[in-house]
Each structure stands twice: as structure tokens, then as C-alpha cells.
Amino acid sequence: MDKEFLKKMQEELQRQKEEILHHLVVESEGFRAIVEDIDPKDLVDMASDDIDKKNLEALNAVESKKLQMIDNALARIQNDRYGVCMECQKPIPVSRLQAIPYALFCIDCQSRKDRQNR
């Protein structure tokens, strides 16, 4: 794979990683504020706080998974395995990597996996 393209993708992955980490820190501070703000309230306020906490936890789980995928992609760049489908071992199209820099599978294999998971 073209070294210039790999460098560009590495920079993009690093940018996305920093963005997620920043978002998690901000959300974590928001989560901490919600937890610290809990005091005896009426039931509606308590239910609202509970929903807020659950939403933050769900968002953090999604962000954490994406962060792990980005870290894995950065490791694949270091190991000269970036851009190779984990299923069929064929090259992942550049256009797919530009759209999803942490993609693990080519379009065909990803489509097959998506159909299996339905």
C-alpha cells in the first residue's frame, strides 16, 4: 500500500482517536456532574437522571468500541496489515478505507457478515 496513503490514514485515525478521547472526557465530566447532583428529588426528576445516566453509559460504550477499533487499525498500520480484509485477505478498497479508516473487512465480506447477523 502507498506509504503516503498510509501516513494520511494514520493521521486521520489519530485525529479520530483524539476526538473520541476528548469526547469521553467531556462526557465523563458530565456523567460525574449528574451523579454528584443526585439528591432527594421527586420521582420524575429521579427517572430523568436515570435516563441521562443510561444514555451517557451507552454513548461511552459505543465510543469505547470505536476507540478500540481505531487502536487496532493503528496497530495494523505498524504491522503492515492495514487495508487487508480480515476475512478473505484481499485488499480493502481505498475508497472504503477513506470512508471508514478502521474497516476490518472488504465490502463483500462486511455485507456477508451483516446478512448473517440479521
pLDDT of residue 88: 97
Based on the fold, state whether residues 113 and 76 are members of the same structural domain: no
CA 72 to chain CA centroid, Å, is 11
C-alpha cell at 56: 451517557
- Which domain covers residue 67, as residue numbers? 1-82
Based on the fold, state whether residues 34 and 88 are members of the same structural domain: no
More confident residue, 96 or 42: 96
Which range among 59-73, 88-102, 103-117 shows the weakest confidence by mean pLDDT? 59-73
pLDDT of residue 26: 76
Q: Kindly state the average pLDDT of the residues 43-49.
A: 53
The percent of residues in the chain predicted with pLDDT above 90, rounded, is: 58
Distance spanning both ends of the chain, measured CA to CA: 33
pLDDT of residue 50: 59
Q: Kindly state the average pLDDT of the residues 66-86.
A: 95
CATH number of the structural domain spanning residue 33: 1.20.120.910
Give me the number of domains the chain comprises: 2
